[in-house]
Amino acid sequence: MKRYEKHILLEEIGLEGQNKISQAKVLVIGAGGLGCPVLQYLTAAGVGMIGIVDVDTICLSNLQRQILYTEKEVGKLKVEVAKKHLESLNSTIKINTYPVILSENNALDLISQYDIIVDCTDNFRSRYIINDACVMSGKVFVFAAIYKFEGQLSVFNFRGGTTYRCLFPNPPKEAEVPNCNQVGVLGVLAGIMGIYQANEVLKILLNHGNILSGQLLTVNLLSQKQTILFFEKDEKKITEIRSKKSIEPIDLNDCIVNQVISLEKIKNPKSFYWVDVREEDEEPKINSSLVHTIPLSKFLHHKQNIPNKENTILFCGSGVRSLKALTYLKNAKSLEEGASQLKQYLEKYE
Amino acid sequence: MELTLTFFGKLIEVAGNESIQFYSKATTMQELRKELIQTFPKLGTLTFQLAQNNKICLGKATIKSDQIDIFPPFSGG
């Protein structure tokens, strides 16, 4: 407890409050610009169990704002690197990693294991999935989102309160969503908004201060203007979500998600250039003229053999290494499923 | 009535300025929304909400303030 003495000295926290923090389980979805500071401060504060969900690997352009990572770690899985650094910051807490894409299928299961969810994602699809999963399972979630020099922050589903859908009932249409790789963002904005999220998490755990429920905090770093906008609960919408047995599919693919393609979306496998990024001795072998082999270990040097990046689908055993290879081949796609499923699919097709 | 509109996020780019003066005949937020889309057709393709007196107003709420905030959802992280 020595490490927490500055918290314990605060009358508002004390030993009792620090114990609440130590017993808490918090799931951070997205280990990017917002996720890094959230993870660092929650780890430093001693949150007992932290889960990290992120399927992405580190690329050089992340380092401008994703301050958990270093140059040497470019190409590595974010969740693994984050866990390593966080454990060296605080070895007394438990950190679980989930290198998966949050989806309608896994969200409820992931969320059910934690008390508080922190939405640090960079796309609307994940945000609506998190909202619906949290409403259905009665979990509070701390939301932040950023755009250039501006941020938004709120706490949703706090003691049955307002949700993201009370603010924006439906996901925007695909055409109006900016491509997240094309919009610039001020690095410190992600840091500031992430720290605000960590602050809300601690306030919820300690049951102290004004929790931003029913309120949207907007922050503009150029004007240094902050505004709190109040909004009402949409009871009808909340009841509708609560009554569902499973999460309704979100018909929107923005950001990283649109670089991942599922077999069910592929009508004709012949229109793609398939690249197996597994090492040469891995099973099952796929004997198809459509499939070309470039192991991940040689990918950087042999990727120029790929004729048309836009029509290329990378795959591996489970969809993790193919995502890693995607960082070297920006315009290609990564197969959600693994080699065994692809093998079955191609056999059926041929 | 003369309104001061304050835009957030990418709506600043659509309106051309963070804050503008706007003459409106609207008495409700719904009518104001229609006028805004007529003046800035790009808004018709975007998701946004309106707020007055620091309160977000959906649909038919009456306009009571000459200061209106107009903001979109952000997705970045």
pLDDT in tens, A264-284: 878 889 989 999 999 988 999
- Is B76 inside a domain boundary? no
B60 vs A201, higher pLDDT: A201
Higher pLDDT, A154 or A59: A154
The pLDDT assigned to A323 comes to 78
Contact A180 B75 (CB under 8 A): yes
Residue A110 pLDDT exceeds 70: yes
pLDDT at A135 over 80: yes
The CA distance from A15 to A21, in Å, is 10
With cut-offs at 50, 70 and 90, classify the pLDDT of residue A21. Answer: very high
Share of chain A above pLDDT 90, in %: 72
| Contact: A168, B73; criterion CB under 8 Å | yes
**A331 or B11: whose pLDDT is higher?**
B11
User: Which of A180, A220, A232 is opposite residue B76, by nearest beta carbon?
Assistant: A180
CATH number at residue B60: 3.10.20.30
Q: Which residues pair with A315 in a beta bridge?
A: A276
Query: CB pairs under 8 A, 24+ apart, for A260-265?
Result: A260/A55, A260/A101, A260/A319, A260/A323, A260/A333, A260/A334, A260/A335, A260/A336, A261/A313, A261/A333, A261/A334, A261/A335, A261/A336, A262/A335, A262/A336, A262/A337, A263/A335, A263/A336, A263/A337, A263/A341, A263/A342, A263/A345
Alpha-carbon separation of residue A223 from A188, A195, A229, B38 (angstroms): 15, 19, 17, 29
In a domain, B16, yes or no: yes
Residues A269/A349, Cβ–Cβ less than 8 Å: yes
Distance from CA of B65 to the nearest CA of A (A): 14
Q: In chain A, which residues have their Cβ closer than 8 Å to the Cβ of B49?
A: 167-168
For residue B52, what is the DSSP state?
E
Please list every residue in chain A whose beta carbon sits closer than 8 Å to the beta carbon of residue B59: none
- The CA distance from A159 to the nearest CA of chain B, in Å, is 21
Interface with chain A: mutation pick from B53, B67, B74, highest number of A CBs within 10 Å: B74
Contact B47 A121 (CB under 8 A): no
- Quick one: pLDDT at residue A41? 98
pLDDT, averaged across chain A: 92
Best-predicted range by mean pLDDT among A97-106, A173-182, A210-219, A326-335?
A210-219
DSSP category for residue A58: -
Residue B39 lies in a domain: yes
Determine, yes or no, domain membership for B58: yes
For the segment A225-230, the average pLDDT, to the nearest whole number, is 96
Which residue does chain A place closest to B10, by CA atoms? A147
Q: What pLDDT does residue A255 have?
A: 60
Which of A156, A159, A135, A162 shows the shortest CA–CA distance to A207?
A159
pLDDT of residue A231: 97
- Mean pLDDT (whole number) for A224-232: 96
**Which residues of chain B neighbour A230 with C-beta distances below 8 Å?**
54-56
Tell me, what's the ipTM? 0.95
Closest among A28, A21, A25, A30 to A3, alpha carbons compared:
A21
Answer whether B24's CB lies under 8 Å from B5's CB.
Answer: no
The predicted-structure confidence for A120-129, as pLDDT tens digits, reads as follows: 999 998 999 9
Cross-chain residue pair A32–B10, CB shorter than 8 Å: no
Q: Which domain holds residue B18?
A: 2-71
Q: How many domains does chain B have?
A: 1
Q: Could A183 and B76 be called an inter-chain contact, meaning their C-beta atoms sit closer than 8 Å?
A: yes
Confidence of residue A175 (pLDDT cuts 50, 70, 90): low
Q: Across the interface, which of A124, A151, A229 has its CB nearest the CB of B51?
A: A229
With cut-offs at 50, 70 and 90, classify the pLDDT of residue A262. confident
A228 neighbourhood in chain B, CB within 8 Å:
54
Say what percent of chain A tops pLDDT 70: 96
- Of the partner residues B49, B56, B75, the one whose CB lies closest to the CB of residue A123: B75
∠A134-A139-A144 over CA atoms, to 5°? Answer: 70
**pLDDT at residue A181 above 90?**
no
- The predicted structure's pLDDT at residue A328: 77
Q: Give me the mean pLDDT over the A60-87 stretch.
A: 95
**Confidence band for A258, pLDDT divided at 50, 70 and 90:** low
Kindly state whether residue B43 falls inside one of the protein's structural domains: yes
Give SS3 for A297.
Answer: helix
Axis crossing angle, helix A35-45 with helix A187-206, rounded to the nearest 10: 40
pTM check: above 0.90: no
> DSSP of A102-130, one letter per residue?
--TTTHHHHHHT-SEEEE--SSHHHHHHH
- Does residue A285 register a pLDDT over 70? yes
Does residue A218 carry a pLDDT above 90? Answer: yes
- pLDDT, tens digit, 9 for 90 and up, residues B9-50: 999 999 999 999 999 999 999 999 999 999 999 999 999 999
Does B74 score more than 90 pLDDT?
yes
The mean per-residue pLDDT over the stretch A18-26 comes to: 98
- Weakest mean pLDDT among A87-101, A316-330, A335-349, B58-72: A316-330
Give the torsion through C-alpha atoms of A110, A114, A118, A121, to 10 deg.
-10
Asked whether residue A345 carries a pLDDT value surpassing 60, the answer given is: yes
Q: What is the pLDDT of residue A266?
A: 85
Better-scored residue on pLDDT, A303 or B65: B65
For residue B30, tell me if it sits in a domain.
Answer: yes
Point out the residue among A122, A175, A231 whose CB comes nearest to the CB of B77. Answer: A122
Could you tell me the sign of the dihedral formed by the alpha carbons of A335, A113, A189, A82, in that order? negative
Mark yes or no for CB contact A127/B58 under 8 Å.
no
Asked whether residue A253 carries a pLDDT value surpassing 70, the answer given is no
Residue B38: inside a domain, yes or no?
yes
